[in-house]
Amino acid sequence: MGTIALKNVQKRFGDVEVIPGVDLAINNGEFVVFVGPSGCGKSTLLRLIAGLEDTSGGEIVIDGIDVANVPPARRGLSMVFQSYALYPHMSVRNNIAFGLKMAGQPKEMIDQKVTKAAATLNLTDYLDRKPRALSGGQRQRVAIGRAIVREPKAFLFDEPLSNLDAALRVQMRLEIMQLHSSLGSTMIYVTHDQVEAMTMADRIVVLNKGRIEQVGTPLELYNRPDSLFVAGFIGSPRMNLLQGEPAQALGAQIVGIRPEHLTLSTSGGQWPGTILIAEHLGSDTYLHIDGDGLGRITARAPGEFPHGAGGKVWMTPDMNRVHRFDSQGKAMRA
């Protein structure tokens, strides 16, 4: 089992309130991603759950027991760090086995578990190497192996892929997702990369200034953002946010329309504009357009879109997918 409940969890560093009070319930086996800009408190929240930071108030309940005052090792959680945090003086085998040794498990059982974890993670050939002789991806696998063998109630990942190059990041992302489906364990994953959040999560928790902005499945957040913050954060490229006339026409302070929900035409449409830059990705073309009286707008066009910088285009929003926000930045829904 691995249910985790946060009840009014607070954290202050001196006079600075980092997390004013967070409530969250995570189900057993769920893959939850904490996402937000740097400094939003997502890593701090993870470290509070891990027990590496003391809470300033509130309860952290794991499987029905409040562990807010329990040391990290006895919370039954494993953590994978951004810097891998491998023990540099130990072989891969000993790195993976360290937690089991600390728990005083018998040697045969340790060997058995290490061998199994190494096989799962394709590390069998590297067991006698030191971490410095491994590539970034292999190091991250060792860190994951170290987490797996302890058979934790839940895994905590603190931006585990941000030190890897783009190609490896995609591969490791898939491996972590496979691991989640094969182990079925609860996983909490911290990232600032909204693509990771969208692709991996069962549920995403969007954090801003230590507060939860919105919790939901990736598509819920994409389709029904509760606030301007979530609207701007989820989705790539970012949602276009327009003020003034187009917003007033819909009775809102600000309206948002995603680049993929604009239909482009070279002959006519609702909003005229001039192409500033065209980014050709092959499958798609992203156009950065200077909309007449609207400011800068990003639009997605097909890969073979024939017009480049300086071209005149008209954009027509899909009115069913326009998001309306009030002056407080809250979503207005009919």
Partner 1 sequence: MARKQPMQRRVITTAAAWIVGLAIFFPILWTVITSFKTELEAFSTPPKFLFFDWTLENYAIVDERSDYFRFAMNSVILSVGSTIIALLFAIPAAWAMAFAPGKRTKDLLLWMLSTKMMPPVGALIPIYLIFRDADLLDSRAGLVAVLFLLNLPIVVWMLYTYFKEIPGEILEAARMDGATLWKELVFVLAPMAVPGIASTILLNVILAWNEAFWTLNLTTSDAAPLTVFIASYSSPEGLFWAKLSAASTMAIAPILILGWFAQRQLVRGLTFGAVK
b/e per residue, 314-325, with b = 16+ CB within 10 A?
Answer: bbebeeeebbbb
Name which of 216, 159, 215, 154 is nearest 186 in CA terms. 154
Rounded Cα–Cα distance for residues 198 and 203 (Å) = 9
Q: Which of 50, 212, 215, 239 binds partner 1 (CB under 8 A)?
A: 50
52 interacts with partner 1 by CB under 8 A: yes
Residue 330 CB, nearest distance to partner 1 (Å)? 38
Q: Look up residue 127 and give its amino acid.
A: L
Cα–Cα distance for residue pair 70/51, rounded to 1 Å: 7
Cβ neighbours around 306 below 10 Å, total: 10
Considering beta carbons, is residue 87 or 248 the nearer one to partner 1? 87
Number of CB atoms found within 10 A of residue 270's CB? 13
Does 105 interact with partner 1 (rule: CB under 8 A)?
no
Burial class (CB within 10 angstroms; exposed 0-12, middle 13-18, buried 19+) of 17: middle
User: CB of 252: closest distance to partner 1 in angstroms?
Assistant: 45
Name the one range near partner 1 by CB under 8 A: 85-93, 215-223, 265-273, 278-286.
85-93
287 binds partner 1 (CB under 8 A): no
**Is residue 77 a contact point for partner 1 (CB under 8 A)?**
yes
Per rule CB under 8 A, is residue 79 in the interface with partner 1? Answer: yes
Minimal distance, residue 77 CB to partner 1, in Å:
7
User: Which span (71-79, 199-207, 225-233, 267-275) binds partner 1, by CB under 8 A?
Assistant: 71-79
Contacts to partner 1 by CB under 8 A? 14, 50, 52, 71-74, 77-79, 81-83, 85-89, 98-99, 102-103, 146, 150
